[in-house]
Chains A and B, each alone.
Chain A
Amino acid sequence: MDKKQLKAKANELRCDALEAIYRAQTGHIGGDFSVIDILTCLYNGVMNVSPEQVDDPDRDRFVLSKGHSVEAFYAVLADRGFFPMEEYINTFSQCGSKFIGHPNNELPGIEMNTGSLGHGLPVGVGMALAAKLDKRDYRVYVVIGDGELAEGSNWEAFQSAVHYGLDNLIAIVDRNGLQISGSTEDVMASGDVAAKLRVFGWDAIDVEDGNDMGQLLEAFEHCKERNGKPHAIIAHTVKGSGVSFIENKASWHHHVPNEEQYHAALKELKGQVE
């Protein structure tokens, strides 16, 4: 898939995530829309995963550490055929559903349960270490929120990944600059994340527009290099990307659109799909 097709797909999947959120009247739309381009890219060309290989020991591994962006994650997995989109949209967060409000690894294609922030990277280190121990070639991708970076467990893992030379580990930071209480730099500044990680010993790169498929594809290609260093992509995204009135507003972290906003958002997204 080329970058234009990928972007069109991501916008279609934004509509699906939006519908799931609107029906369930719950969800984290801001983080969904900032990360969905990254997920769409990973699952449509970058990672070696498919519904046929969910138990393949050589499949790439993925962990959504910022588990609250599950509405985007479910949409991307459904689109790749891991489970029916209809079932996701109709039962998300409903009583008895498997589509709970954070990743549920009883669903095919989901490796680990997340939801409590700061767990994904240590788990990713374990998965990457297992590949080394078993002499397997798979890669491990972990998506982390930028507010989430305040959790100390990330920094323990940033260190252990270097210690074990895990060049099969790719950490992607969804650097949208916002968290629940406001700007990340006001709440708990993380500053120049790539520079910090380089000091730790990571191969860290900034992606200027983390919602641009071309730039993302290039960054993922770069991270395939096996040079003894773990890779980090600091993807400078826009929280709520794709819907003008949702973009860049902390208040949309887990706000649910009303009827009017729902239709306006769908209209704007559909305009971008064409």
Chain B
Amino acid sequence: MGTACKQIIADVLTETAPKDKDLVVLCSDSRGSGNMAPFYEKFPEQAIEVGIAEQDLVGISAGLASCGKHPYAISPASFLSTRSIEQIKVDVCYSKTNVKLIGISGGVSYGALGMSHHACQDIAMVSAIPNIRVYIPSDQYLTRFMMEELVKDNEAAYVRVSRNATEDVYTPETKFEFNKAVTVKEGTDVTIIAVGEFVSRAKKAAELLAEKGISCRVLDMYCVKPIDKEAVIKAAEETKHIVTVEEHSIIGGLGSMVSTITAENAPCKVKVLGLPDAELICGTQEEIFDHEGLTPEGIASAAESLL
């Protein structure tokens, strides 16, 4: 079943390191969970360990970047984002340093480990800061495309991926455009805009809707910021109904951003699906999704109820 996006990130960094001697990887006792241990063996001169100190991780990365290095800070999304948010705001965004923040095990990947380990506010927090882009790729092919773009540029980005393997949504032949939503499926009655883990589920929801004669468009908004505003407006105008679904609090994430765009440009019915503004139950990622009704069936029925 698919491949973990974090492995693809490790692969791209491993391929790029010999070509870009300024590329440096930083971990905070997280090289194992980031699939980066082989990189540390292979490129000791381009691999830095900071210990369990995520604020330091981001500050050191910013310092390296200000001296011309191309740092990739890899750490669990929960600690990398919320723990280090001021370093992200001041040292990365405000000072405009080219730091790539790779948040692994995002959302509720860590399931039963509890709220301390969940990253369900990261997109809201990081996106609200200027001078940083935010990405949540859905599968291995899109992750590779996105990483190959990011290693070429000189601006900050926060990438959030899951811990587990994600089902393939695309094929090696799929053509992507950077910072443009991917149209996973065309449709005319309703649009589901999804990110990350939920793109494959949205695709299944669209199939369930098709069985009922409902034509559902599916957009993969992996570029949460800069969000593809045109694609949102087009979906609002052409399909009149939008469902958003994300592994994030329903406050301040994809749903909030899409709702702002539609409200200002093309008012239409929007249903925001995601994690509630409440403590989550103990369980695996899958169990939490099921409990919150974030299944293909649940997404399809939310879409249907808008019509």
* A residues lining the B interface (CB < 8 Å): 24, 26, 67, 93-102, 104, 113-118, 147-148, 150-152, 179-181, 187-188
Contacts and interface: CB of A to CB of B under 8 A. Distances in A.
**Which of B37, B113, B115 is packed against the most chain A CB atoms within 10 Å?**
B113
Contact of A188 (B30, B51, B115): B51
A154 to B, nearest CB: 10
B284 to A, nearest CB: 7
Nearest to A115: B116
Contact of A96 (B32, B33, B113, B281): B281
B114 A147 contact: no
Nearest to B59: A152
A180 B114 contact: no
B114 A181 contact: no
Contacts of B291: 95
Contacts of B56: 150, 152
B90 to A, nearest CB: 15
A115 B282 contact: no
Nearest to A106: B279
Contacts of A179: 29, 51-52
Given A26-B112, A94-B282, A147 B287 contact: no
10 contacts: A24-B112, A95-B281, A101-B110, A101-B117, A102-B113, A151-B52, A152-B56, A180-B30, A187-B49, A188-B53
Given A96-B283, A101-B112, A180-B29, A188 B52 contact: yes
A100 B50 CA distance: 29
B113 A101 contact: yes
B222 interface: no
Nearest to B33: A180
A15 to B, nearest CB: 22
A24 B112 CA distance: 10
B31 to A, nearest CB: 6
Interface residues of B, number: 30
B42 interface: no
Interface in B39-64: 49-53, 55-56
Contacts of A147: 29, 51-52
Nearest to A145: B52
B21 interface: no
Given A95-B287, A188-B52, A188-B53, A115 B31 contact: no
B234 interface: no
Contacts of A117: 52
A151 B84 CA distance: 11
Contact of A116 (B27, B29, B37, B78): B78
A181 B116 contact: no
B141 interface: no
A179 B29 CA distance: 8
Closest 9 CB pairs of A and B: A188-B51, A115-B116, A150-B51, A95-B283, A93-B112, A101-B113, A116-B116, A150-B53, A100-B282
Chain A interface mostly helix, strand, loop or mixed?
loop
Contacts of A180: 29-30, 32-33
B158 interface: no
Given A113-B116, A150-B29, A187-B29, 9 more contacts: A95-B281, A96-B283, A98-B282, A101-B117, A101-B282, A151-B52, A179-B29, A179-B52, A188-B53
B53 A152 contact: yes
Contact of B282 (A96, A116, A118, A187): A96
B44 to A, nearest CB: 12
Interface string B88-118: 0000000000000000000000101111110
Nearest to A97: B282
Contacts of A114: 116
Contacts of B31: 181
Contacts of B37: 181
Contacts of A26: 112
B282 A102 contact: no
B109 to A, nearest CB: 13
A152 B282 contact: no
Nearest to A253: B32
Contacts of A150: 29, 50-53, 56
A67 B29 CA distance: 16
Nearest to B287: A95
B114 A115 contact: yes
A95 B117 contact: no
A114 B112 CA distance: 14
**Which of A99, A113, A117 is packed against the most chain B CB atoms within 10 Å?**
A117
Contacts of A98: 282
A107 to B, nearest CB: 12
